A and B are shown apart, each in its own frame.
Chain A
Amino acid sequence: MIEAVGPIKRKFAPWDDPTLKPFIRFENVTKRFGDFTAVDNLTLDIYEREFFALLGPSGCGKTTLMRMLAGFEQPTEGRILLDGKDLSGIPPYKRPVNMMFQSYALFPHMTVEGNIAFGLKQEGMDTSNINTRVAEMLELVKLEKFAKRKPHQLSGGQRQRVALARSLAKRPKVLLLDEPLGALDRKLREETQFELMDIQMELGMTFLIVTHDQEEAMTVSDRIAVMNHGIIAQIGTASEIYEQPASRYVADFVGDINLIDGTVTAVDDDNVTLHCAGVDATIVAEAGAGEVAVGAEAGFAIRPEKVQISLEAPPAGTPNVLSGEVWDIGYLGDISVYRVRLAGGSIVKATVANLTRIVERPITWEDKVYLTWPADAGVILLK
């Protein structure tokens, strides 16, 4: 059953428009806890109506960054601007920002209605308007029947919706989501991701999500900032980050990657030739970010799904060929993963979509196979 959803997502790229002012701006923000630097001289612009994700492993500073925007932490250095206004010194209860907490933080002594109405009451809104807004919010998250329940009488998924409704009720300029779907199981998480996107488009708000789940970040957000040790490793759309990772860290953190080390032997216009002594091969690929010089140590990065696996040797003179034997096969239903052991002993992964229902696959364990890929399928990454 597929319901028709709101407006179709058009091309949305305010970050490419130099005339637009950013809506949220972190300006040289540093946050230290004692000796530990959680956020290190970080500058970041987020635009109005954007769905922005902060992605990174735990301890990378993403949650601290969000808590500084909410007002629970003060930057040690630098400042945060919202709609051109400096937020420093403004306490959390006066910021036009609401947050959905990882633990949901629902008030256990209030009903679902009471929880959603809480923020509106603080605003001094009159009762009839509060009731209308609460009803709207309950409808938005499809919890009309549960208005009178207490949080402990709800399932995890329902609690998550109440938390979302509560944080949206005040129509904040920015909604902050701290690992919002972390506690949900996989199926529910996927559904909720799409619902979040619909809600964001319907309400036209700016959403900032913190997550360590790369699939979640890639599904919901317009742009992603990959963070590591308090700095931003790369900012870009999901496809930019996946297809053109700026560093080994990003390539490795987002998705699955094969990395082959080598030495640069030639550089022309757009292509770099890499001699990989470890696997005894020469690879020609597009240069990634950064200047590449002859003689430099570099790595060739390619996603497993872009590697083609074949039993037949390609015609002589074909560039970018690796050969090895099938070491392991993982059958995942929709795809199969082949782990191929190269001459030097290193392993390269190749995934193949299972387009037919034939159970017997032509390639099996210990077969000698050839791995090839188009010239633009991978990128060169410096150390």
Chain B
Amino acid sequence: MNKSTSWFNITSLVFGFAFLYVPILILVVYSFNASKLVTVWGGFSTQWYVELVHDQAIIDAAWVTIRVGIISASFATVLGTMAALVLDRYRKFHGRALFSGMVYAPLVMPEVITGLSLLLLFVAIGFDRGFWAVVIAHTTLTMCFVAVVVQSRLVTLDRSLEEAALDLGCPPVKTFFLITLPLILPGVVAGWMLAFTLSLDDLVIASFNTGPGATTLPIKIYSMVRLGVTPEINAISTILISVIAVGVIAASVLSHRSQVEKEKAERAVFLAG
């Protein structure tokens, strides 16, 4: 590797990050714009944030989004953890390859198709579109992400720990809660946060399955934008970006830190002899 900084490297870096973050940066900056015109800078102000708090429709949409996020992330975490356990533990069962492929399929499935197929399902079984339909749809979308995160944690778990618990008289289900779950908890929590974040910013699937009284924040923003972009939308988007950034960073820090701690402990013991 060439260690010295070349013009090429610096240009790549600048352009790469510019592409990624300039649009977001502009949005964040203009959310503090005093002017009502979105493209004209009129000085610093937080008035749009204040206005936001008084907009009942947005507050309602935010509340729906958070509830959908928490409930669907929790369902997805339970289902995804169970799927990960099966995939990790039962190495040989009929249709294992098919099952593991199908668990991960929604990762790459176009959201339009997932949303549409769920809509068709709900119509076919006569399930009302609305809050719970969105919850179920988001559970479907996010459980595969949880399965991936939890499975990567399970791979590093020493199976003999569970055998030791069984050997000491602990039945299998209790062993899961006393031994396995505490040890894979960082993965499970990271999976939950990822699921929550994905649910928070989903527009496509939610708009297929939503109904009266179940307008999520992305749907609300999208419908507001169709009437023209206001600084209020910039403000709410900034808040959403912050929440999602915090969630993603926390999830990655959590899974990274447990890894680092483990290595550190092992090194300490190695040095102690």
Q: Which residues on A are within 8 Å of B, measured CB to CB?
A: 70-72, 91-94, 97-99, 101-103, 105-109, 118-119, 122-123, 152-156, 166-167, 170
Contact = CB atoms under 8 A, between A and B. Distances in A.
Given A93-B166, A107-B179, A108-B183, A156 B161 contact: no
Interface in B147-174: 158, 160-161, 163-172, 174
Nearest to B170: A122
Contact of A93 (B160, B169, B182, B273): B169
Nearest to A67: B163
A188 to B, nearest CB: 10
A92 B175 CA distance: 12
B272 interface: yes
> Counting chain B CB atoms within 10 Å of each CB, which of A72, A94, A103, A122 scores highest?
A122
8 contacts: A70-B163, A93-B168, A99-B163, A103-B160, A105-B160, A107-B161, A119-B168, A167-B167
B161 A105 contact: yes
Nearest to A94: B169
Given A108-B183, A109-B183, A155-B273, A99 B268 contact: no
B167 A92 contact: yes
B177 to A, nearest CB: 12
A103 B268 CA distance: 18
A158 to B, nearest CB: 9
Interface of B: 158, 160-161, 163-172, 174, 179, 182-183, 262, 265-266, 268-269, 272-273
A101 B169 contact: no
B163 A92 contact: yes
A112 to B, nearest CB: 14
> Counting chain A CB atoms within 10 Å of each CB, which of B167, B269, B273 scores highest?
B167
A125 B104 CA distance: 45
Contacts of A91: 166, 171
Contacts of A71: 166-167
Contacts of A98: 167-168
Given A101-B160, A101-B163, A105-B161, A155 B168 contact: no
A278 to B, nearest CB: 49
Given A107-B179, A152-B265, A156-B269, A93 B163 contact: no
Nearest to B182: A109
Contacts of B183: 108-109
Contacts of B171: 91, 93
B266 A152 contact: yes
A93 B266 CA distance: 30
B163 A154 contact: no
A72 B164 CA distance: 10
A155 B272 CA distance: 6
Contacts of A166: 164, 168
B153 to A, nearest CB: 13
Contacts of A108: 161, 183
Contacts of B169: 93-94, 119, 122-123, 170
A36 to B, nearest CB: 15
A266 B168 CA distance: 59
A105 B166 contact: no
A122 B174 CA distance: 10
Contacts of A109: 182-183
Nearest to A178: B160
B168 A122 contact: yes
A30 B265 CA distance: 42
A118 B168 contact: yes
A129 B268 CA distance: 34
B168 to A, nearest CB: 3
A269 B139 CA distance: 85
A302 B207 CA distance: 86
Contacts of A156: 269, 273
Contacts of A154: 269
A101 to B, nearest CB: 5
The 8 closest A-B pairs by CB, nearest first: A119-B168, A152-B265, A122-B169, A105-B164, A105-B160, A92-B166, A101-B160, A122-B170
Contact of B165 (A94, A102, A118, A152): A118
Contacts of A102: 160
B216 to A, nearest CB: 38
Contacts of B168: 93, 98, 118-119, 122, 166-167, 170
A103 B158 contact: yes
Given A109-B182, A155-B272, A99 B158 contact: no
A182 to B, nearest CB: 14
Contacts of A155: 269, 272-273
B170 A99 contact: no
Nearest to A91: B166
A202 B43 CA distance: 84
Given A93-B170, A93-B171, A152 B269 contact: yes
